[in-house]
Structure 1
């Protein structure tokens, strides 16, 4: 089964929650990248603290991706 067929089999609420999980996963990775790359942030945070927060966000995104992939495999 491919991704589209599985999404068609889900209820509208399950589809919405799945898409919402994907959006937040992308948001966490985006926030981590912003913390790494943006040099002159409006809020003064030391670079070391930004790197630590960025790594924590990436680890959390990996955990969320793993949990989402387990749900995706249960449906198949």
Structure 2
């Protein structure tokens, strides 16, 4: 899955974009988890952002993070 030789062969720009893509994927995943499980701790108003919408939004963010991860990995293997 992670080949260090492939990572060394990339240009600095490609390496930066790869790391940026992984970072953004982790941010989306983290926000999704926080919204689902820690919504009460971050004071999300239940009248404006009900529980069912909060869970749906968190799931959408987690799915989007998975899509980004799969795109990053497919680009890595095809290059």
Fold agreement, TM-score > 0.5: yes
Divergent runs of 4+, >3 A: none
Which runs of no fewer than 5 residues in structure 1 stay unpaired?
none
Number of aligned residue pairs: give it. 75
Higher share in helix: 1
- Residue pairs, 1:1-76, within 5 angstroms: 3-38=3-38, 39-44=40-45, 45-75=49-79
SS, match of residue 41 in structure 1: coil
Which runs of no fewer than 5 residues in structure 2 stay unpaired?
none
Query: Could you give the per-residue CA deviations for residues 21-72 of structure 1, whole angstroms, max 9, x where no partner exists?
Result: 0000111110010011112323312111110100110111111111111111
Cα RMSD (Å):
1.6
TM-score, structure 2 normalization: 0.85
SS, match of residue 43 in structure 1: coil
